[in-house]
Structure 1
Amino acid sequence: MDLLKKYLDNERIEGHHLFLIFTSLFIVISSVSYYSGMLALFSAMVFYISFVVGKRLYSILGLNTLNEGTSNLKDKIKYNINYSKHTIFGLILMIFGLTFIVLDILWAGGIPLLDLTSKKNLSPLYTMLSRLLILGWAIVVASKLSLNKKKIIIYSFIFSSTIMLLGYRTSVMVMLMSILFIIYYSNKIKNRELIFFTIGIFMLLLFLSILKLYILGSGGIPLVSRIDLTMSVFDIIAHNFNGVFNGYLTYSAIYSYLGKSLGPRTIIANSIGIHDVTITPTIFGAVIGDYGTLGIVPYFGLLGIFMGLFYRISKNFKGIYLGVYSVILSYLLIAIETGILDLDVIIYYVFGFLLCIYVILKKFINK
């Protein structure tokens, strides 16, 4: 019992742990076939191992000599980390995000949360830019290391309520999850508090799911029905569309925002004979549909190495690094259902990769 208590107090729960746990839950809860379930589990294991490799790469590259062990703001200033600039950058992103939330609602002619018909009129571009509020707030919280935990939680719920007006649960979940990761990896909360807050976020998601089912007049078990549907789509892709799309889903994720392609989730829906709706394929379905079963190893291998390396960087440098990492980790966990098929999310991953490159170059330039 004491050993368990010590573990709950001291050991860090990291991204690869969460990805494997969430993937396992999706497999257990759904009625996915054994074949597809094993593919998903194998993908998660590749990511898990690669994440550990990425963490190790941080030390191999000697990045730990840059900022390892510095836990307060004064120490970090010595390494030319200007948290004030990070904060200002985050605030600018927040202003852009809030502005485009207002513009998106005006464009739609109603508040999508209260009027589902107006949700169809939302501008994809405005909606994408409105999510800058999430990234901006995450960067601000990660940069202002002295910010009070209670204030962080209160403001996070206020901003979550604001972005909730657009009617997308995913944005709300990413906002809350990313802030939770920031305060967790900043050592402001311990494992037991993390579990407590996670349960709270889950209950909120459950409430939003029940509310949506009620508004739509649909039946089914909240969350479970959604997971089962998504995994069944993955099952179809794994058996019938293995490598068929040849990268077109990724292409459409980018070019659909330019009006040159249908959205990837629309393409998947149309491919399985469903029209007028979008369908999420899971991250596994998107990868297998685009690159085939053989694409699992390079995709999740490279993704895991990147996330492991970025985790170590963000944990030690905080600021914009931790803000961006927490957002893309949140999107990654949600992508277990949705896939990484949104232009802004892809841009966030590219941004995170560039931050890693910057830190690596800084190491060797300062030699």
Structure 2
Amino acid sequence: MIWKREYINNKLEGHHLFLILTSIFIVLTSVSYYTGILVLFSALVFYISFVVGKRLYSILELDSLLNETNLQISKSKNRHKINYLKHYIFGLTLMIIGLFFLVLDILWAGGVPLFDLTSKKFLSPFYTMLSRLLILGWAIVVASNLSLDKIRAIIYSLIFSSVVMLLGYRTSVVVLLMSTLFVLYYTNRIKNRELLLFASGIFILLLLLSIIKLKILGSGGIPLLSRMDLTMSVLDIIVHNFNGVFNGYLIYCAIYSYFGMAPGPRTVVANTLGIQGVTITPTIFGGVIGDYGILGIVPYFGILGIFMGFLYRIAESFKGIYLGVYAVMLSYLLVAIETGILDLDVILYYIFGFLLCVYILIKKYRLYFKVKNPIDILIKKE
């Protein structure tokens, strides 16, 4: 019975969710067997690498930074104390900046894209990118304020998601809600059952938004499923006809398109397929295969998995800004199964997460070299 209890208490982690969602995309769409196998293989590489990243955290003994014994041995100036108040203030600052640029973006467009689709094309990519700092800031605030109960956190999240929704991007709404749930989940404020319940609510919301969009556009098809099928069919085309053709151009466009120096990566995909005037998402797998070829799957998802697994263990232990950033990154990763990681702000979040990992490693080894022999220090004190 003990092993059963431990199994039940285990949390759903990023690699579980990534593999589950990837499998759903394969099963529910008409993707070819060959492409489906590639997608599943990519997800498995990520899954295994994620576990390796978690193990790496344990090997490096980073939990010792939070070990009370080690902190008492070290001098007070060398202690790694987490100032959650600073994290909280930083999160609030990001929220204010994001809200400011969201309002500025709407004024720039001359209308509210949620109610006026024509104004959406006039949104400033730069302002839109900065407006999403509201999402990151809110995740950090929830992760830093552990006294914030789940009910208030969810109510505030719904309010902020309504604000973000004004720009007309479903992805931003989904990421805000998902990242909030992940923060609440990994701080033990909600359990597995509640996570699944709230996730179902997000799915229903996404379904409603898809239905509304189809009605406005006058399109037919099954909401969500039609989009999934279209996206996977694009992946099929990339796998069979554009394997490694872009040579990194998609990621180049993801960065430089925000400065007006290149077209958007999804526009490039659409134009390559002979479609003009629209953008097409290639999935996270299509972006990798189109840029680096099928052989790029292993290093890409291998490195990504190790990184995400390592950051997950840091976030789980240190909470605060680490958990907030991880929750947003995980949310974007799951969404990227369909959209791809092809936005500058998302790429910057991953760079930020990497820098947080480096920071923790530096703190660990600064402490290690400062306190090489704790026993000698205790003897000297006596």
Tell me which interval the TM-score lies in, with the shorter structure as reference length. Answer: over 0.9
* Distance (whole Å) between structure 2 residues aligned to residue 100 and residue 289 of structure 1: 33
* CA shift digits 1:23-48 (9 cap, x unpaired): 00000111000010001000000000
* CA shift digits 1:158-212 (9 cap, x unpaired): 0000000000000000000000000000011111111111111101110111111
Q: Which residues of 2 match residues 42-81 of structure 1 at below 5 A? A: 42-67=41-66, 79-81=80-82
Partner residue in 1 for 2:375: none
Q: Which range moves more in the overlay, 20-29 or 8-17?
A: 8-17
* Distance (whole Å) between structure 1 residues aligned to residue 281 and residue 253 of structure 2: 14
Contact persistence 2:311–2:357 (CA under 8 A): yes
What fraction of aligned residue pairs are identical, expressed as a percent? 73
* CA shift digits 1:206-243 (9 cap, x unpaired): 01111111111111000000000000000000000000
Tell me which amino acid in the other structure corresponds to 1:339: G
Q: Which residues of 2 match residues 321-336 of structure 1 at below 5 A? A: 321-336=322-337
SS in structure 2 at match of 1:214 = helix
Cα RMSD, aligned residues only: 1.7
- 2:362 is equivalent to residue 347 of structure 1: no
Q: Which residues of 2 match residues 123-134 of structure 1 at below 5 A? A: 123-134=124-135
SS in structure 1 at match of 2:159 = helix
- 2:249 is equivalent to residue 248 of structure 1: yes
Residue 69 of structure 1 deviates from its aligned partner by 9.6
Tell me which amino acid in the other structure corresponds to 2:336: A
* CA shift digits 1:11-67 (9 cap, x unpaired): 100000000000000001110000100010000000000000000000111112122
Q: Which residues of 2 match residues 25-36 of structure 1 at below 5 A? A: 25-36=24-35
Partner residue in 2 for 1:75: none
* Distance (whole Å) between structure 2 residues aligned to residue 68 and residue 190 of structure 1: 26
Partner residue in 2 for 1:74: none
What are structure 2's unaligned runs of at least 5 residues? 70-78, 369-382
Q: Which residues of 2 match residues 167-182 of structure 1 at below 5 A? A: 167-182=168-183
Contact persistence 2:42–2:297 (CA under 8 A): yes
Larger of the two Rg values belongs to structure? 2
Contact persistence 2:149–2:189 (CA under 8 A): no
Q: Which residues of 2 match residues 303-342 of structure 1 at below 5 A? A: 303-342=304-343
Tell me which amino acid in the other structure corresponds to 1:326: A
Residue 349 of structure 1 deviates from its aligned partner by 0.1
Tell me which amino acid in the other structure corresponds to 1:303: L
Contact persistence 1:54–1:309 (CA under 8 A): yes
Q: Which residues of 2 match residues 200-279 of structure 1 at below 5 A? A: 200-279=201-280
Contact persistence 1:156–1:175 (CA under 8 A): yes
Partner residue in 1 for 2:74: none
Contact persistence 1:8–1:192 (CA under 8 A): no
Contact persistence 2:54–2:313 (CA under 8 A): yes
Partner residue in 2 for 1:113: 114
Contact persistence 1:23–1:336 (CA under 8 A): yes
* Distance (whole Å) between structure 1 residues aligned to residue 34 and residue 348 of structure 2: 32
Residue 5 of structure 1 deviates from its aligned partner by 8.5
Tell me which amino acid in the other structure corresponds to 1:313: I
* CA shift digits 1:315-337 (9 cap, x unpaired): 00000000000000000000000
SS in structure 1 at match of 2:167 = coil
SS in structure 1 at match of 2:194 = helix
CA gap of 1:8–1:103, structure 2 versus 1, over 3 A, is: farther
CA gap of 1:69–1:158, structure 2 versus 1, over 3 A, is: farther
Partner residue in 2 for 1:37: 36
Contact persistence 1:69–1:316 (CA under 8 A): no
* Distance (whole Å) between structure 2 residues aligned to residue 169 and residue 4 of structure 1: 41
Q: Which range moves more in the overlay, 4-13 or 127-136?
A: 4-13
CA gap of 1:325–1:118, structure 2 versus 1, over 3 A, is: same
* Distance (whole Å) between structure 2 residues aligned to residue 68 and residue 48 of structure 1: 29
Contact persistence 1:109–1:118 (CA under 8 A): yes
Contact persistence 1:9–1:192 (CA under 8 A): no
Partner residue in 2 for 1:22: 21
Partner residue in 1 for 2:379: none
Partner residue in 1 for 2:88: 87
Question: Structure 1 length as normaliser, TM-score?
Answer: 0.96
Tell me which amino acid in the other structure corresponds to 1:53: V
What are structure 1's unaligned runs of at least 5 residues? 71-77
Contact persistence 1:179–1:326 (CA under 8 A): yes
* Distance (whole Å) between structure 2 residues aligned to residue 3 and residue 199 of structure 1: 30
Question: Structure 2 length as normaliser, TM-score?
Answer: 0.92
* Distance (whole Å) between structure 1 residues aligned to residue 56 and residue 214 of structure 2: 45
Contact persistence 2:314–2:322 (CA under 8 A): yes
* Distance (whole Å) between structure 2 residues aligned to residue 38 and residue 357 of structure 1: 35
Residue 290 of structure 1 deviates from its aligned partner by 0.2
Residue 295 of structure 1 deviates from its aligned partner by 0.2
Partner residue in 1 for 2:200: 199
SS in structure 1 at match of 2:231 = helix
* CA shift digits 1:66-112 (9 cap, x unpaired): 22699xxxxxxx63111111111101100010001100110111110
Tell me which amino acid in the other structure corresponds to 2:9: N
